[in-house]
Structure 1
Amino acid sequence: MAVTKKFLKTKPVCKVTFAISAPEAAEAVLVGDFNEWDLTSTPLKKLKNGTFKVVIDLDTEKSYEYKYVIDGEYVNDDEPEALIFNEFANAENSLLAL
């Protein structure tokens, strides 16, 4: 399960569910353009099956770079829509287009 999108009909917002499987991990955080890469603002909740999950509202008509931080290690989505090289980070980030 990677990212699922639910577009709202009444406003230019999409409810985006981010999920990543990490059964051995203690914690996971979502960071990206939408939260200024803040390690404290978007923690994921660990489910009983070992998947970490969070739902956030994002503006449509935009693209967002993001990564997961699992037990302190930055990782890309298992199934991203695309990967994009970020010169600032000197690494690839997952890309989400809405």
Structure 2
Amino acid sequence: MLKKQNMNKEKKVKVTFVVAGNTDNVSVVGDFNQWDPSADPLKKRSNGTRSASVVLEPNQRYAFRYYKECGEWFNDEAADEYVVNDHGGEDCVVTTF
């Protein structure tokens, strides 16, 4: 699940990435963090989900995926779009329009 919030003072968009709990350690990995699995780990929340927030530039499209500690990649069903990646799969896209 994706939640977007305009940050008017900074003219940026805060995007919160949320996945259901009961999963291995997960990170959100994408264009916004140079696809670095250690950059944005999702933290466990009291409601059983995991989430991480990133602040992004407005009017952009960012490819991303989730990465599990066990080496598995997965997509977000709530992504704004999907694009074919260089590995024969699909990446999610979040837009900040």
Name the TM-score, length of structure 2 as normaliser: 0.89
- Identity level (%): 29
Q: Which runs of 5+ in 2 are unaligned?
A: none
Cα distance 1:21–1:85, how it changes in 2: closer, same or farther (>3 A)? Answer: same
Greater strand share, structure number: 1
Calculate the aligned-residue CA RMSD, in Å.
Answer: 1.3
The SS at the match of 2:41 is: coil
Report the equivalent of 2:27. 29
1:44 & 1:55 partners in 2: Cα distance?
8
1:19-98 correspondence runs (5 A) = 19-23=18-22, 25-71=23-69, 72-86=71-85, 88-98=86-96
1:47 & 1:26 partners in 2: Cα distance?
14
2:37 & 2:6 partners in 1: Cα distance?
26
2:7 & 2:19 partners in 1: Cα distance?
24
Aligned residue type for 1:85: V
Aligned residue type for 1:38: D
1:19 & 1:66 partners in 2: Cα distance?
13
1:36-83 CA-to-partner distances (Å, cap 9, x unmatched) read: 100111111012443110111111111000001123210000221111
Contact 1:20–1:78 (8 Å) recurs in 2? no
Tell whether 2:8 aligns with 1:9: yes
The SS at the match of 1:34 is: helix
Q: Which runs of 5+ in 1 are unaligned?
A: none
Q: State the number of aligned residues.
A: 95
Name the TM-score, length of structure 1 as normaliser: 0.88
